[in-house]
Amino acid sequence: MIPFVDLKAQYEDIRDELEPELLRTAAEAHYILGENVPLFEQAFADYVGVVHCVGVNSGTAAIQLGLEALEIGPGDEIVAPANTFVASVLPALRLGAKVVVVDCDEEGLIDVPAVEQALTPRTKAVVAVDLYGQTFDADPLIRLCDAHDVSLVEDACQAHGATYHGRRAGTFGRFAAFSFYPSKNLGALGDGGAVTTDDEELAERVRLLSRLGEATKGSHTVVGTNERLDTIHAACLSVKLRHLDRWNAARRQAAGWYQEELADGPVRLPRAMPWGDHVWHLYVVRTREREALRAALGEAGVGTGIHYPLPLHLQPGLHGALGYREGDFPVAEARSAEQLSLPMFAEIRRDQVAQVAAAVRAHAGSAAAAR
């Protein structure tokens, strides 16, 4: 059996370092906003290369609080790519903004020329996604947003440690949102997230909003919410952050193995763009026979995922709010029908990758024989 992700293997990798820290934090009993929270925030800001990091309780909360700090609401428009996780746009919808969807390119990344077409005088922000572990083409999008006085928001939830011309993911926009969902490249023991930014005012607004709007003890100056990062998660994240580069290197190596093993083309392989380090949150191949391949891999004991089976505009719960039709975003729609995520995690071994690849090839062979 080769799981799609193996969080137990990751735990075993750092158990000896992690457990004393978790026990110490539990015994210290400073569960809410204990010292681990500012320590982790500083360490993560330094790692990303920004001045401010605010820990929050999910990636979704990070996006929502950042947009709220930018005062985005009814009457405003944000632009977002069709091929992403719904959490990229749920916050804007919940704030009452209109979400204008654009198509993606062949690698699933936001199509920058399409963004330019989608801008209107009401556009307040572009939410661009560092998808599957690689950044979008940031420089042209930064220039476009600057020229139109639109805020660039970076959804970096899948790209902890990725780079673009030497700059780390999390540094490109007015703010970036990170998720520490357990299976992300940097994961907590449950939900967690962070906002990173160089904008001090924005960071303070996010901090205030996430902490019930409490400016000083007992004095609540804005209508905030409770979306703080728990101390126990910050403690875990501080330990794991020290291993992130090593884990990302292991993911890159695993991606290289897949590339070698599957070079003869039974499926279409993902492409790492030349502008920086891909951190392979997901290894997403494409095939017209996605459902059959997925079933065959399942029978061979190989876990897979689909990211994502429906583009945003065809999600049943979003369809009405977005107002698009099937056919509106053909690249994203084709990807949705064809993409399949193969097992990818830092601890995956070469023989496991070889086994997955053999199962992919075996299915391609039997499918060809059946034709």
- Contacting residues for 77 by C-beta, under 8 A, at least 6 apart: 97, 98, 99, 100, 120, 122, 123, 124
Q: Mask: binding to ligand PLP, 105-144, rule CB under 6 A, as x and -?
A: ------------------------x---------------
How far apart CA 359 and CA 345 sit, in angstroms, is: 18
Q: Which of 123, 135, 158, 287 binds ligand PLP (CB under 6 A)?
A: 158
**DSSP readout, 65-114?**
HHHHHTT--TT-EEEEESSS-GGGTHHHHHTTPEEEEE-B-TTS-B-HHH
Question: Which of 7, 52, 35, 4 has its CA nearest to residue 190?
Answer: 7
Q: Which stretch, 53-61, 68-76, 108-116, 134-142, contacts ligand PLP (CB under 6 A)?
A: 53-61
How far apart CA 362 and CA 38 sit, in angstroms, is: 51
**DSSP readout, 168-182?**
ETT-SSSEEEEE--T
Does residue 59 bind ligand PLP (CB under 6 A)?
Answer: yes
How far apart CA 99 and CA 277 sit, in angstroms, is: 30
For the purposes of burial, counting CB atoms within 10 Å of the CB of 223, is it exposed (0-12), middle (13-18) or buried (19 or more)?
exposed
Q: How far is the CB of 303 from ligand PLP (least distance, A)?
A: 18
Does residue 308 bind ligand PLP (CB under 6 A)?
Answer: no
Q: Which stretch, 16-24, 153-161, 248-256, 308-316, contacts ligand PLP (CB under 6 A)?
A: 153-161
Question: Which of 207, 198, 149 has its CA nearest to residue 176?
Answer: 198
Q: How far is the CB of 141 from ligand PLP (least distance, A)?
A: 16
Half-sphere exposure of 366 (CA within 13 A, CB side): 9
Q: Which of 81, 108, 193, 270 binds ligand PLP (CB under 6 A)?
A: 193
> Between 59 and 311, whose beta carbon lies closer to ligand PLP?
59
Q: Which of 155, 227, 333, 338 binds ligand PLP (CB under 6 A)?
A: 155
Question: Which of 364, 345, 366 has its CA nearest to residue 11?
Answer: 345
Q: How far is the CB of 127 from ligand PLP (least distance, A)?
A: 9
* Helices marked H in the chain: 7-28, 36-48, 59-69, 90-94, 112-118, 138-147, 200-210, 231-241, 244-261, 290-299, 316-322, 330-338, 350-370
Does residue 191 bind ligand PLP (CB under 6 A)?
Answer: yes
Does residue 157 bind ligand PLP (CB under 6 A)?
Answer: yes
Q: Which stretch, 3-11, 68-76, 152-160, 356-364, contacts ligand PLP (CB under 6 A)?
A: 152-160
Supply 256's token pair.
């290289």
Phi, psi (deg, nearest 5) at residue 68: -65, -40
> Between 105 and 191, whose beta carbon lies closer to ligand PLP?
191
Q: Cβ atoms within 10 A of the Cβ of 148, count?
A: 14
Q: Angle, to 10 degrees, between the axis of helix 350-370 and the axis of helix 290-299?
A: 130
Q: Which stretch, 57-65, 198-206, 269-277, 351-359, contacts ligand PLP (CB under 6 A)?
A: 57-65
Q: Which of 10, 25, 36, 58 binds ligand PLP (CB under 6 A)?
A: 58
Q: Minimal CB distance to ligand PLP: which residue?
A: 59
Q: Which of 64, 84, 171, 197 binds ligand PLP (CB under 6 A)?
A: 84
Does residue 64 bind ligand PLP (CB under 6 A)?
Answer: no
Q: How far is the CB of 90 from ligand PLP (least distance, A)?
A: 9
> Between 112 and 360, whose beta carbon lies closer to ligand PLP?
112
Q: Which stretch, 43-51, 154-162, 247-255, 327-335, contacts ligand PLP (CB under 6 A)?
A: 154-162
Q: How far is the CB of 42 from ligand PLP (least distance, A)?
A: 21
How far apart CA 295 and CA 302 sit, in angstroms, is: 9
Does residue 161 bind ligand PLP (CB under 6 A)?
Answer: no
Instruction: Report the interface residues with ligand PLP, using CB under 6 A.
Output: 58-60, 84-85, 87-88, 129, 155, 157-158, 179, 181, 191, 193
